[in-house]
Structure 1
Amino acid sequence: MSTRNYLRPPWAARVIGGRMARLVKPKVVSLLSVPGRTTGAWRSTPVAVLDHGGAEYLLAAYGDTEWSRNLRASKSGRLTRRGRVEQFTAVEVGPSELQALMEAYLGQFGKLPNVAKTFETLPDPADHPAFRITVTGSERA
């Protein structure tokens, strides 16, 4: 696998943005929880789930993030969205699919703060890990 880059989000996006986004855009922003690859402790971060071609994807807009590394190791996690906690399995997509997923992500979420700028800074699709997710169970949050 090639070396992927990571772009640290601005302070406001890290500290305020994710929390506010879930309140302001609850239909767009979900809470991803993934077990840490070293400790196994659950780590959570806000994400936008991409619906593309009849499947759902998680794409790491900021590059090779901690959540993407943890998901790569665990191959499963939880999404809290629309008042439900959904268990899912994940498969990392191959390089040939990344360009189309990146374009679809920009089409759906490019107007959210920092998204378009992030892809301008990291234009190589190989820098953005993406995972096809399959929900395996669901319960009320």
Structure 2
Amino acid sequence: MRYVAPTRAAHAFNALTKWLTARGISLMGSRVLAVRGRKSGNVHTTVVNLFTYEGHQYLLAPRGHTQWVRNLRAVGEGELRLGRRSEAFTPFEVADADKTPLIRLYLRKWAWEVGAFFEGLNADSPDADVAAAAPGFPVFRIDPR
């Protein structure tokens, strides 16, 4: 399973983005994801980039199979927060074969922020390259509950 640990700079940027998002200031779709831990049962939060494709909302994990991805798979529900507003959702994991346009859109919007996690892949990479990398990037369609 692919997992890329964040750098100190990424930690600092995420902390600032999370702080702003928790106060109602979204940076290009940022939300605070709250999901119960699969082992502890405690609620864990992290900042994520929410995006829309063909009328559905999605979350993509640019660092791979992170803890929030594993928790979301195990628990089967989460919450997206922006300031005081909170929306519960049910996640549906997208099949690898269907990820190419989603990864491409994500890179178009946020490569400036997370491009280093994509290891040379970019929004204009050939479909075959994006499809080959797809298993390393979990994607969830989210449906409001």
Q: TM-score range by the shorter chain?
A: 0.7 to 0.9
Q: Residue 39 of structure 2 aligns to a residue in which SS?
A: coil
1:139 aligned residue: none
Aligned partner (choices 138, 141, 144) of residue 129 of structure 1? 138
Q: Residue 99 of structure 2 aligns to a residue in which SS?
A: helix
Find the aligned partners of 2:5 and 2:30 in 1 and give their Cα distance.
19
1:116 aligned residue: 115
Letter of the 1:21 partner, please give it.
T
Letter of the 2:85 partner, please give it.
R
Q: Residue 34 of structure 1 aligns to a residue in which SS?
A: strand
2:32 aligned residue: 31
Aligned partner (choices 14, 17, 23) of residue 13 of structure 2? 17
Letter of the 2:143 partner, please give it.
T
- Gapped regions of structure 2 (runs ≥ 5): 122-129
TM-score (norm 1): 0.84
- Give the CA RMSD over aligned residues: 1.8
Find the aligned partners of 2:59 and 2:140 in 1 and give their Cα distance.
5
Q: 1:26-57 CA deviation, whole Å, 9 max, x = no partner?
A: 14211001000111111100000121111111
- Gapped regions of structure 1 (runs ≥ 5): 137-141
**Which structure shows the higher helix fraction?**
2
**Which structure shows the higher strand fraction?**
1
- Summarize the alignment of residues 59-138 of structure 1 with structure 2, pairs less than 5 Å apart: 59-81=60-82, 83-112=84-113, 115-120=114-119, 124-136=133-145
TM-score (norm 2): 0.82
Counting aligned pairs with the same residue, the percent is 34
How far the C-alpha of 1:111 sits from its partner, in A, is 2.1
List, as ranges, runs of 4+ consecutive aligned residues in structure 1 with deviation greater than 6 Å: none
How far the C-alpha of 1:120 sits from its partner, in A, is 2.0
Find the aligned partners of 2:134 and 2:97 in 1 and give their Cα distance.
9
Letter of the 1:116 partner, please give it.
G
Question: What is the total number of aligned residue pairs between the two structures?
Answer: 130
